């Protein structure tokens, strides 16, 4: 991120008639949990991940699910006849449809996807996350003027800091107070375990992905990413 600063003391923040904050932190650190504990009558909860899944990745997510369903002859026939329809049930607490769309690099026979396809979906996620975060300004206005909330909290995704968009960071810092939730060392260990068991939707920069994927393959003596057991 850039060198912008967004600081105020506690007394100043508490004195604000209308408060607007952006929660920043690692995926799983507790941003959504904290939002859920704020008084729902006063605070408008804007979830970046929810916006991504229900607005900007809605069609790709459903296409991915339908592609899998079409492999089952019974379901394929019903889908072709428009006898059934498929929809997701993304909520602020259930982001699994986004995670399954992004997928994991590995053996297609075990549910993995090829590197090229993984990167394509990552690019879609990056574009969606940028759009969802730029939407904060409009939803901030609507939360006050349309819905009548006093305060606003932007529950940003865990990969916000990877987006490398200075204009976006400046907008968020100008319109909201950035609050960083830092995980303790003990919590970091637990977050790593959770991310292995239940991956959350994240964007990885191409250079970061290529470097770490190469290290992973070398450490395990794997020559082809499609041989990774997911």
Interval 53-88: pLDDT, tens: 999 999 999 999 999 999 999 999 999 999 999 999
CB burial string 96-126: b at 16+ within 10 A, e below: bbbbbbbbebbbeeeebbbbeebbebbebbb
What does the domain layout of the chain look like in residue ranges? 20-220
Interval 163-215: pLDDT, tens: 989 999 999 999 999 999 998 888 888 888 888 778 889 999 999 999 999 99
pTM: 0.90
């Amino acid at each position: 991120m850039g060198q912008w600063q967004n600081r105020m003391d506690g007394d100043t923040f508490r004195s604000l008639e209308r408060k607007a904050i952006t929660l920043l932190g690692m995926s799983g650190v507790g941003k959504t949990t904290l939002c859920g504990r704020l008084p729902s009558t006063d605070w408008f909860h804007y979830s970046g991940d929810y916006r991504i899944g229900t607005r900007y990745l809605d069609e790709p997510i459903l296409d991915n699910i339908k592609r899998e369903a079409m492999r089952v002859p019974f379901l394929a026939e019903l889908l072709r006849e428009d006898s059934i329809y498929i929809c997701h049930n993304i909520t602020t607490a259930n982001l699994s449809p986004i995670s399954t769309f992004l997928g994991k690099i590995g053996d297609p026979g075990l549910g993995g996807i090829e590197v090229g396809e993984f990167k394509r979906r990552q690019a879609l996620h990056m574009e969606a996350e940028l759009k969802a975060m730029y939407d904060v300004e409009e939803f901030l206005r609507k939360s006050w003027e349309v819905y009548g909330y006093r305060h606003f909290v932007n529950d940003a995704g865990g990969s916000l800091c990877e987006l490398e968009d200075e204009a976006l960071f400046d907008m968020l810092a100008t319109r909201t107070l950035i609050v960083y939730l830092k995980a303790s060392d003990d919590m970091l260990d637990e977050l790593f375990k959770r991310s292995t068991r239940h991956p959350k939707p994240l964007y990885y920069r191409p250079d970061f992905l290529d470097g770490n994927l190469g290290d992973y393959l070398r450490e395990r003596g794997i020559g082809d990413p499609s041989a990774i057991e997911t």
